[in-house]
Amino acid sequence: MNTRGNAVIVGAYEHPGRELPDKSLAQVHAEVALGAVADAGLTLDDVDGFFVGHDAPGYGGGWISMAEYLGLRNLTYMDSTESGGASPIYHVSHAAAAIAAGKCEIALVALAGKPRTGIQPGGGGPLTPEESFEGRMFGVTGLVASYALSARRHMHEFGTTSAQLAEIKVAASIHASHNPNAFLRKALTVEDVVNSPLIADPLRRGDCCVVTDGGGAVVVTSPEIARTLDRRAVKVLGQGEAGKIVNGGKLDLTYTPAVWSGPRAFEQAGVTQADIDYVSIYDSFTITVLEILEDLGFCEKGKGGEFVQDGTLVAPHGRLPFNTDGGGLANNHPGHRGGITKIIEAVRQLRGEANAGVQIPDCEIALVHGNGGDLGTRMRSATMILGREDA
């Protein structure tokens, strides 16, 4: 379904906490939900659509237990689509479709996690079909090892360097230095990153995201309802979804499903890469950002290393400012899932509410991209393009 113009984001809230040992996971979910509906000028009684992933604790993919915990008594539509870090972006797109189809009017999309001070739901299940081969037989233990394989392959194929990857972390750290809630607030240099401890060759600690508690939520509704609210709305212009599988081992490690989700989002939105003022790119590792920028068409495949040099990603005046809150690399990566924070920061930019020092002048169109899965094996991608209300 083409949802262009059928839905807008009217509320957005990011939990300010990054270490929350005294709160339950359900509490964090509740606090971000309350924050988002309050930002929209609404209450939980107004919500009739509820969208969460498997980060939400409890029955029904989490939505049943959390709906009860929140007291959501008026639900007519629920969605617990699970796509890892891409889930919230899927959820906003699915909420837009549900609103366009008349299945709900005011949708709440929420995510929360406590991997830093608690236990994250969803682990400990039965072996997947591939796990006994990839993990137990060939020793791919942990995501960083797989992402390192992708980084090494990209370096081999295209000459990408560790210093070029470091430029991505440097930009994120500069942005985080303007964010009072960021987990890491020190602005780094390329030398700081390339001299940080090696984690999985060629990725170093500086190439890796932070591990934080926290979460966020957004409220999606129709333009008609938005006009009754005293809050600036952000338009959902286009979206695309895609997945990539291992294909029996015939796998190119240098691309992501963004090669398919991106063009779908651009086509639906009716814009091109040249129209984008700001990008929120999932940044589990620096190599993730570099490959996604290539796959979304901001530069040629293999040219990402050159593209990110010379302050391209640094706000407010770089050619393509990214993750101006500090992103997962320096600010917040709640529940090992960065999708919700990517949406929230794009909303801030389009509303003109980003942190001082990183607000992009006259920001009209933003791109949000989320990943779920593993860059070196199978993964899902969701791309969404948002527009300023008066643009």
Handedness of CA 206, 294, 296, 366 (dihedral sign): positive
Query: Mean per-residue pLDDT for 194-220?
Result: 97
Q: 298: left (phi > 0), else alpha (psi -120 to 50), else beta?
A: alpha
Tokens of 1: 């379904």
Residue-wise pLDDT for 153-167, tens only, equals 999 999 999 999 999
The partner residues of 387 in beta bridges, in order of sequence, read 235, 365
Q: What is the mean pLDDT of the chain?
A: 92
Is the pLDDT assigned to residue 298 strictly greater than 70?
yes
Neighbours of 379 (CB within 10 A): 23
The partner residues of 234 in beta bridges, in order of sequence, read 9, 388
Report the chain's C-alpha Rg in angstroms. Answer: 19
What is the Cα–Cα distance from 372 to 282, expressed in whole angstroms? 9
What is the Cα–Cα distance from 371 to 381, expressed in whole angstroms? 5
Angle between helix 63-70 and 25-40 (nearest 10)? 60
- Domain positions in the chain are 7-117+213-233, 143-207+236-387
Residue-wise pLDDT for 9-44, tens only, equals 999 999 999 999 999 999 999 999 999 999 999 999
Neighbours of 6 (CB within 10 A): 17
pLDDT for 1 equals 58
Confidence band for 52, pLDDT divided at 50, 70 and 90: very high
CATH number of 143-207+236-387: 3.40.47.10
Alpha carbon distances (Å) from 388 to 38, 177, 200, 233, 340: 20, 26, 41, 7, 18
pLDDT for 2 equals 64
Domain 7-117+213-233 matches domain 143-207+236-387 at the CATH topology level: yes
CATH number of 7-117+213-233: 3.40.47.10
